[in-house]
Amino acid sequence: MADTHPLPNGNGSAVRPAEAHAEEPEENVFLFYPNLIGYSRVVLAVASLYYMPLHPRTCSLLYSISCLLDALDGMAARYFQQGTKFGAVLDMVTDRCTTTCLLVFLASAFPRWSIIFQGLISLDLASHYMHMYATLSMGGQDESHKKVDESRSWILKQYYSNNKVLFTFCLMNELFFIALYLLSFSSPIISPTLLKTPEDPASLIPGTPLAPKSATLFTNPWSAGAMEYARANKMDSVIPWTLAAISFPIMAGKQIINVVQLVKASQWLAQGDIEKRKADRARKGR
C-alpha cells in the first residue's frame, strides 16, 4: 500500500504530497461529429456509385447530398472544436475518390472524350497530393494544407482562406460533372445513340452491337433497372444543359487553380531541395 503519511519539508514541517491530477478520459477521434458526417458522405457516395449505371435520378440525388455534407462537416468541426488531421485527410480523400469515380463513368459514357476526363483525374490527384506533401515536408507536420502564404500564391491564398469561395468552387465543379452525367442519359446531341434510330435495318438484328440482347444488359429485361433506363432516355435535357452552362466557368477556374497548385507545390519542393543541397555542401566543406 502506498505511504500516505505527510513528509517533512525543508523546514522540518510536515506537508502532504500533491495528489495526482485526475487523468482525462481519452477521446475517440473516430467518433467526433465531423468524422461521423464524413463517414455518412462515404456511404452516400458508395450508394450513388451503385445506382450510377442505370438510375441517374437516384444517383444524382445521393451524390449531391454527399457533396453538400462537405460543408456541414467543416461547420461541425468549428462549432464543436473537433478539427483533426484525420478529419481533414478523410475529407480530402472522400472528395478525390468520389470525383474520380464520377469522371471514370463519364470517360466510359463519352469514349471520344475519355482522354479529357483521364487528364482531369490525373490533374486533380497530382495537384492535391503534391500540395499536401509539400505542405507537410516544407511547412511542418502541424501545418494545414489550407494555410497558404500570400507570398507563395495569391490565387491559392484567396481560394483556401475563404470557406465560401472554396465551397462554391468545389460545388460548381461537381455540379458540372453531374450535369454531364445526366446529359449522358438524356441528350441526343452528345449521346446520339440514345434516341437516334439506326437507318440501317440490318443493324437492328438481335445480337448486333447496336441492338444487343436484353440479357446482355440486364439480368431481367423487366427489372427496375431496365425500366429506369427507359425512363432516363426520356428525360428532359434542358435542366442539365442549364446547370452545365452555369457551372462550366467556375469548373474551368477550378482546373486552373489545380494547375497553379501543382506548379507552386513543385516549386516549393524544388526550393527545399536546393536549400538542402547547399546545406549538405556547406557541411562537407567544413
Q: What span, in angstroms and rounded, lies between the C-alpha atoms of 35 and 74?
A: 10
User: DSSP readout, 201-243?
Assistant: GGGGSTTBTTB--HHHH-SSTTSHHHHHHHHHTT---HHHHHH
What b/e string do you get for 39-69 counting C-beta neighbours within 10 Å, with b at 16 or more? Answer: eebeebbebbbebbebbbeebbebbbebbeb
Q: Is 95 a catalytic residue?
A: yes
Structural contact between residues 215 and 221, judged by C-beta atoms closer than 8 angstroms: yes
Query: Among 70, 73, 91, 95, which one carries the catalytic annotation?
Result: 95
208 phi-psi bin (left φ>0, alpha ψ -120 to 50, beta other): beta
**Helices in the chain by DSSP H: which ranges?**
33-51, 56-79, 85-109, 114-139, 154-161, 163-186, 214-217, 224-232, 238-284
- Which sequence positions are flagged as catalytic? 95
